[in-house]
Amino acid sequence: MSLPSVAVSQSPEERFREYLASRPKPQRFTEQQRELVEHIFQKHSHFEAEQLVEELRAAGKLASRATVYRTLTKLVDAGLLRKIEHGPRTIFDHDYGYPWHEHLICEQCGTIIEFQHPGLETVLKDITAQHQFRATGHTLVVRGVCAECNAATAAQRRRLVM
């Protein structure tokens, strides 16, 4: 499923600049951070920090590994990215400019499938209301095995039986 982008009032860069300026100790927006934000939001894809470092190097951009990691943390804090923990991997996903969505992660091949279901939001609203809980966000990651890996396993079993 490919998620459509949603209309937002600010570009990711403008939103990040605003976040940095509004911190208790305002921070400046650097050229390296601008390049990072631009690169990350050029396309909707899940990525790991080291993957981003390599992509930036290949593109001839000079952001240091430390700058990448610090900026990713700030982008998560600013609500622009979502961090998904999957075992030892930390995967980043766009949170800003895309509708709320959940993830299925294949434990064999690492495929990430995005999904939405209106019933899920209804259940979460009911549960939070029942407990008088004011939710500020949630992350649902369902781990398992994708259809392609299931098919490959089934084919392998058939070959062993024959």
C-alpha span between 22 and 5 (Å, rounded): 26
How many Å apart are CA 127 and CA 131, to the nearest integer?
6
Query: Residues annotated as binding site for Fe cation?
Result: 121, 138
Residues in the annotated binding site? 106, 109, 121, 138, 146, 149
For the chain, the DSSP string reads: -PPPP---SS-HHHHHHHHHHTSSS-----HHHHHHHHHHTTS---B-HHHHHHHHHHTT----HHHHHHHHHHHHHTTSEEEEEETTEEEEEE-TTS---EEEEETTT--EEEE--HHHHHHHHHHHHHTT--------EEEE--HHHHHHHHHHHHHHH-
Residues making up the annotated binding site for Zn(2+) are: 106, 109, 146, 149
d(CA 21, CA 27): 6
